[in-house]
């Protein structure tokens, strides 16, 4: 996870989705994010797009998310933890 910006306790971060992440193949609506976190942009094959609830997350997608500093570790786990 790469921090991009911090403003008043809110952090914007970038995450590249690993192939083994449990969110690969799921729709955005199926991903449980920590309270106060928001997935704001997905870059897939170099093309940025605003995700919809139906957007499917693919391996190597770059996700840009906004979260509180306190929730950053929970967000990391939600986005890159491996399939169980």
Q: Which two tokens stand for residue 39?
A: 């997935």
Does the model's pTM come out above 0.95? no
- Indicate the CATH number of 2-80 among 1.10.287.3510, 3.40.50.300, 3.30.70.1450, 2.60.120.10: 3.30.70.1450
Per-residue model confidence as pLDDT tens digits over 53-82: 999 999 999 999 999 989 999 999 999 999
What is the residue extent of each domain of the chain? 2-80
Residue partners of 75: CB distance under 8 A and separation at least 6: 1, 13, 33, 34, 37, 65, 67
What integer pLDDT is reported at residue 3 of this predicted model? 61
d(CA 35, CA 38): 9
């Amino acid at each position: 996870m790469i921090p991009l910006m911090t403003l008043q306790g809110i952090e914007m971060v970038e995450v590249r989705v690993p192939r083994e992440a449990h969110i690969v193949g799921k729709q955005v609506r199926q991903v449980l994010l920590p309270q106060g976190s928001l997935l704001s942009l997905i870059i897939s094959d170099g093309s940025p797009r605003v995700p919809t609830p139906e957007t499917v997350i693919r391996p190597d997608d770059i996700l840009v998310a906004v979260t509180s500093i306190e929730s950053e570790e929970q967000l990391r786990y939600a986005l890159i933890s491996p399939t169980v």
